[in-house]
Amino acid sequence: MRPAPADVPRVTTQTLQNMKAEGVPIAMFTAYDYTSARLFDQAGVDVLLVGDSASNVMAGHETTLPITLDQMIYHAQCVIRAIQRALVVVDLPFGSYQGNSKEALASAIRVMKEAEAHAVKLEGGHDVLPTVNRIISAGIPVMGHLGLLPQSIHNYGTYKVRAREEDEAARLVEEAQALEEAGCFALVLEKIPSALGKRVSEALDIPTIGIGAGADCDGQVLVSHDALGLTTDFNPRFVRRFARLDKTITEAVQAYVNSVRTRSFPNKDESYE
């Protein structure tokens, strides 16, 4: 008897396919370091995304564009060392795949060899199909990404919801189907109307992972720093804060500082004879 998809000892791309088929929602979370990834993995997260959002939450940049391939590989290496169960997907950063498919394949190979990741993710539709085909032909699993594309934010000029109009929505569905036909094992849908998220999810055999795309996607992803309340200056509608660790950490550090100031730390039991 096959185990329930969410209870497998190791999550693979096939696990995600089984989860969609059996109606088990997929939980995806971002991770950038060993300690956090270990906790997220133990908590039962199915997919850990080493996101280029590290550019924002780890390095303090305004956009995802500045982070480099070397930096993404470093973060991925840290995450991979921590996990026992989760599937680890790594974003190909801006500039590492847009030039041509040969460069993109070289970038993906570096991620797989140097970080020992399980898959890569890239943004775009028809424009990246040759790249997707080339990477998959090398045996590297690819997760697609449609809707709002953070790496193209300067082209959009705004973070508003995408594909509200039918022409853009129809194009998104067409591109989603093209990515599936090219061999993508899953697809992230970011900041689109919930009805469109449902429409795409029902049109595809591969799983969809929503972020601001409604509850009918096959799974959901959030940036861990947003969900845990480590960063609170980013407040789109789709973010739910499941904790306020900013307050917890601030209070703990204040208590530490006070203990040092009053010489109550270290006490006798915390010192050596």
User: What residues are labeled active site?
Assistant: 190
Nearest to 118 by CA among 10, 253, 234: 10
Task: Give strand pairing partners of 190.
Answer: 147, 211
List, in sequence order, the alpha helices (H) in the chain: 13-21, 34-42, 54-57, 69-80, 101-114, 129-137, 153-156, 166-182, 194-203, 224-227, 245-261
What is the SS3 assignment for 83?
Answer: coil
* Cα–Cα dist 128/192, whole Å: 20
* Cα–Cα dist 153/147, whole Å: 12
Question: Which distant-in-sequence residues (6+ apart) come within 8 Å of 224 by Cβ?
Answer: 29, 30, 31, 36, 40, 230
Q: How far, CA to CA in Å, does 17 sit from each of 14, 71, 214?
A: 5, 30, 20
Q: How far, CA to CA in Å, does 69 sit from each of 51, 78, 137, 207?
A: 12, 14, 21, 26
Compute the half-sphere exposure of residue 233: CA atoms within 13 Å on the CB side of its CA.
Answer: 4
* Cα–Cα dist 81/88, whole Å: 11
